[in-house]
Amino acid sequence: MTTAFVYDPFERNHSFPGHPECLERMQSALALLQADGILDTLTRLPNSAAPLDRILAVHSAAYVERLQEICRSIGGSDSDGRQSARGNDLPALWLDPDTYVLRASWEAGLRAAGGLLKLTDAVMTGAASNGFAMVRPPGHHARPGGAKGFCLFGNVAIAARHAQQKHAAERVLIVDFDVHHGNGTEEMFFDDPTVLFVSIHQYPHYPFSGGIDEVGYGPGEGYNVNVPFPSGVGDAGYLTALRQLIDPLARGFRPDVIFLSAGFDGHWMDPLSGHRVSVDGYASMVAELMALAEALCEGRLICTLEGGYDLNALPHCILSTLRVLSRSPAGRSDPFGAVEGNTQAAEKTVSAVKRRLGIR
């Protein structure tokens, strides 16, 4: 069992003071991973920017060109962006009310997608059994024609299409357990029966999409699955969705690879959600997906970071994920414990989704 890990420090150049999606997220995570020593047990992958043809496989050329032009028009330099931004004298532009860009954001976005491509290559060629891409900016809100919700490029969508085009993966399963609906990933594959997309999220909640009836279009109907949980479902709620819904769907679909959009912002300490998930709960979900990957696609589970904004909880979520993936004897790292969730509400939602999809 070889677990690969990719991290690119260039992400530090893409950060705006006071914004929840900031470089401190990675600083806190790296500090814990280094103190723990787990990085020494993983296969560290070098990184580079994603080639534009990979980006253009899911994004429109008009958007990609516009984003590059916007970033180039901003003052400052690509190399000193972090220092200037933290001094609050580097100009930034806002692509929507939540999503900023600096001059260095173009390169940071390409490298975030590139990191996941490197990990995908490693897993698909057998150089690694599974892996985790600790990248930012995140990606699952980015739409084919625009940025959204902190996200510039659809990292997981780019990597999924790459697995198909470069590594001949016929069927790809993407599971997204970020507390926010993966609207961008959904849109990119809404009519595509070769990609099964399942999003478990809080609803109604940003981006205010992801209802039960969003099941895909045309040949993709039935291959887009949303589990719109009310707030507060907790660990048991998420595990109910995995065991009663995702497991049978995956076994029927039989993917060649499983991607995980690993957003940890459903943790009960996170400021942007109310889902009451614990570190141990997230680790249990990763373990379930890992077992599913081993049963269906030779263990190929490729994880990428999405959200997670509590600087205390996020590092332990990432560390525990890496320990599960690598089968570390150290076990999980959850100093915060769990809080009770609304299991009944979760079961009601899962039953409704199963009826909508005709799953018994």
Check 141, 162, 181, 205 and give the catalytic one: 141
Q: Please say whether the beta carbons of 287 and 294 come within 8 A.
A: no
Contacts of 96 (CB under 8 A, 6+ apart): 146, 147, 148, 149
Q: Please say whether the beta carbons of 147 and 95 come within 8 A.
A: yes
Residue 267: closest CA among 329, 226, 321, 220: 321
DSSP annotation of 277 reads B
DSSP codes, 199-251: EEEESS-TT----TT----GGGTTSEEEEEEPTT-HHHHHHHHIIIIIHHHHH
Q: Please say whether the beta carbons of 173 and 196 come within 8 A.
A: yes
Q: Which amino acid is at 44?
A: R
Q: Is 181 a catalytic residue?
A: no
Q: Please say whether the beta carbons of 135 and 11 come within 8 A.
A: yes
Residue 206 phi, psi dihedral angles, 5° rounding: -50, 135
* Cα–Cα distance measured from residue 139 to residue 116, given in angstroms and rounded to the nearest whole number: 11
Q: Please say whether the beta carbons of 71 and 122 come within 8 A.
A: no
Report, as residue numbers or ranges, the catalytic residues. 141
